[in-house]
Chains A and B, each alone.
Chain A
Amino acid sequence: QKEVEQDPGPLSVPEGAIVSLNCTYSNSAFQYFMWYRQYSRKGPELLMYTYSSGNKEDGRFTAQVDKSSKYISLFIRDSQPSDSATYLCAMSAIWTPLVFGKGTRLSVIA
């Protein structure tokens, strides 16, 4: 079993839809959880960061972490065509390198 599992998609939604992206993990030592966004032919950029369990909101984006279920989510409200990208979850334990999911490709259709 991979440490981090992420459905690769692709996921296609109409503009304005609510998007839910998810990752599961197996390492209970993970404490730091991140979502990166990667546009085509670009490097990943940090979108959201969460420490331990709980929710974090930033504009149209909400990150949730459920450590008891080893499950993290990213919600995008009122999705826009500019949100079309690959979204990668990433997580780590203290003083260890990040472990990335394989990424989910999202297309938001106008």
Chain B
Amino acid sequence: NAGVTQTPKFQVLKTGQSMTLQCAQDMNHNSMYWYRQDPGMGLRLIYYSASEGTTDKGEVPNGYNVSRLNKREFSLRLESAAPSQTSVYFCASSVRTEQETQYFGPGTRLLVL
């Protein structure tokens, strides 16, 4: 049982390049989330998917797109990377009960030059 896995662990991009961050969970959770974490800013929600087939914007969705590929996988795409998107990105999942307890992946460190 791997929990939440993310790939890649680290990536360097040039401004304007695109990339997709991958996330998968094996806990049969219904809901999945993408966050970014910046120094002094805490965890900020980018997008989330309450259940397979649905996605919703979070606090900071601009410049990102998401795809809930199936119940297990939730990807985050940067179409045209900008230096302001340099951050650590975390994927999380939850059962989608009233508790909303989330389980996090190990993170992807992204540097945009």
Interface flags, B27-44, vs A, CB<8A=1, else 0 = 000000100000011111
What band does the interface of chain A fall in when counting residues whose beta carbon is under 8 Å from B? 20 to 34
Cross-interface CB contact of B98 among A8, A32, A98, A100, cutoff 8 Å: A32
Task: With A43-B90, A43-B104, A97-B58 as known contacts, state yes or no: A32 contacts B99, CB within 8 Å.
Answer: yes
How far, in angstroms, from A76 to B106 measured CA to CA in the complex?
25
A residues engaging B (CB < 8 A)? 6, 8, 32, 34, 36, 41-46, 49, 51, 88, 90, 92, 94-98, 100-103
User: 13 extra interchain contacts, Cβ-Cβ under 8 A, other than A45-B103, A102-B42?
Assistant: A36-B104, A41-B107, A43-B105, A43-B106, A43-B107, A44-B43, A44-B104, A46-B102, A51-B99, A97-B45, A98-B45, A98-B102, A101-B42
